[in-house]
Amino acid sequence: MCGVFGAFCKNGSSVLEDIYLGLYALQHRGQESAGIAWNPYGGGQEVLSFRGMGLVHVALDQKHLSSIMSNSAIGHVRYPTTGSSDLSNAQPISANYSMGSIAVAHNGNITNARGIRKMLEARGAIFQSTTDTETIIHLMAHQSHKPTLDALVDALRRLRGAYSLAVLLGNRLVAARDPWGFRPLVIGRRDDTTYVASESCALDIVGATLVRDVEPGEIVVIDETGLKSIRIPHTAERKYVCSFEFVYFARPDSVIDGRSVYEVRKTLGCRLAGRSPCPSADMVTGMPDSGTIAAMGYAQCSRQRYEKAIVRNRYIGRTFIQPTQRVRNLGVRIKLNPIKSLISGKELAVVDDSIVRGTTVKRVISMFRQDGAEKVHIRIASPPVRFPCYYGINTPTCEELAAARLDMETLRSEIGADSLDYLGIDDLVSAIGLPGMDVCTACFSGDYLDGGEGNGMDL
């Protein structure tokens, strides 16, 4: 899972500081690396870029970026799915070839990238990274007789899987979303500046208004003449909008395909209360922060008391280093700490967004027990995660997924809960509010997009 952000200003004002701010708002989508690429002010031929490892404020120099004049730029925050954790795999990926300059920021996972890479390497291509994103640039370079936009369109039609892109083609900003619509991508506007972003929350930080979503299979070209839309020449049989974006990944203040993430999560909790009530519980609480909103919906619809009974240390990120054995032994308690006075002697209904490996929920239940909880009932506001995701979420293999290894009763016993229940797939889709055939539930159902092994040359 990654985040992309792009901006183009018709009046020539610099946009690099806006890109920096947009990436800050998308930090939840990737903490491994961050980067910005821009077209030099005045329409220079070579695209320039900064990339670095770590969080946005570590990887990028905001003060220096604010001094650079460029009216077209893109940015990226990376969460690795394809390719190792290395600076060479940080994005945007850029190149200057015979037809002009290009930079690409990509969210998603191209499922036939391996076949395309083998074909291109057989033709003499030399790859500089191990990411699937680089295949896009090489596909374009092997069509050097075509203008850059035509080469990009032809490259995208050969891809399978998930890609939401912010692209610089010379001084043009291009947004593209795969024909299946796996990952979100939106367009926003503030005065003379047009933006593209993985989520609408990134538009808010720069004072832009959400215009619309980039449609599945659409390529949007933004330049000094305005906005033009063209289609990727591939007809998808159905859409695959990622349900896990609504369950966990997206920020609750975002709107995806016209649906408020906050409202969806609250509805998930409400439907969970109807499906699996826990009337004997003294209170409902949520696992911070991803289970909080669903827990509020659960409590509201079950007419039970809601308490924020577990606190998250907001200064601990995913990349927290555990330097000593004592710190390692503390484990989850470094990030999460129950409020003992609230839970001692109480029966709890604890709502979370999902169970992946089961490690965290097991340790949290143990903490509740240590702090005096009488009973702990676990309610999950999504179906069991039984299958890996191949479209941009780095989920474990089936043998590592708790719900794939264990039946419900064995898993309940394994994590130490007094009861365990999940939301059903039908309830999940209904809460999202999109047509069932437009929603991807592959990590829950195993219903994957067919294809993805070829090299794209037969398409």
Which residues are 165's β-sheet partners? 106, 176
Choose among 171, 169, 43, 8: nearest CA to 99.
Answer: 169
How does strand 347-352 pair with strand 375-380? parallel
Name which of 369, 327, 312 is nearest 344 in CA terms: 369
- Separation of alpha carbons 389 and 315, rounded Å: 29
Q: Give yes or no for a contact between 302 and 266, defined as CB atoms under 8 angstroms apart.
A: no
C-alpha torsion angle, residues 350, 356, 360, 362 (rounded to 10)? 70
**CB 297, CB 263: distance < 8 Å:** no
Nearest to 182, CA basis, from 136, 129, 229, 249: 249
50/37 Cα distance (integer angstroms): 7
Residue 57: both structure tokens together:
């404020």
- Other Cβ atoms less than 10 A from the Cβ of 455: the count is 18
Eight-class DSSP state of 161:
B
Secondary structure E strands in 10-98: 33-38, 48-53, 72-78, 93-97
Spatial neighbors of 426 by CB under 8 A, at least 6 apart, are none
**Segments of 141-192 assigned E as strands:** 164-169, 172-177, 186-190
The residues annotated as belonging to the active site are: 2
Read off the amino acid at residue 239: K
Rounded to whole angstroms, how far apart are CA atoms 229 and 232? 10
